[in-house]
Amino acid sequence: MDIEFAVLCDAASIREGILNVLGAPITRVYRPELPAALGVSLAALFVFEAEDHGQMREFEIKVSNASGVIQKGVGVVAVGPRPDKAETGEDRIFSPFVASFYGQPTSNWGEHTFSVSVDGGEHSKETKLWVLPVEELSLPGGIQLTPEK
């Protein structure tokens, strides 16, 4: 078992086992003031071995910043598809996962860590997001944006 990737994005969905990701990877968000909503989703891809079929695996998602954990959730993922439905030579099962943090508020500027782990942390991935004030927003080429007052 492994976690192939965990990425922050604008939005993500799962349809018929296919992970659709929009606007990734996000590493920075700019907010005019705090507290502010994080406004991101987490898309991850779990990879299981064929012999894991039918098992229930526990996972945990945690969002933290300098103040500590700001959100934590646990769940269970069922491993599929059925082995008799696998293609010849198909030895891995991909299981996509999406969690939304659009409304999750933060009261801290700076680094935020999103971690996803399976089987009590035996397998895990982390990704970082920096929450920055709008006045730090600049575009490539040295163009500086200033907020309207």
Tens digits of residue pLDDT in 8-57: 999 999 998 899 999 999 999 999 999 999 999 999 999 888 778 788 88
Whole-model pTM: value is 0.82
Is 98 a member of any domain?
yes
Is 149 a member of any domain?
no
Could you tell me the CATH number of the domain that includes residue 108?
Answer: 2.60.40
- In 1-149, at which residue ranges do the beta strands (DSSP E only) sit? 2-9, 11-15, 18-22, 28-31, 36-37, 41-49, 56-65, 68-78, 92-100, 105-106, 110-118, 123-133, 138-139, 143-144
> In whole angstroms, what is the distance from residue 56 CA to residue 61 CA?
16
Residue 34 in tokens: 């705090």
Q: Domain containing 17: what range?
A: 2-144
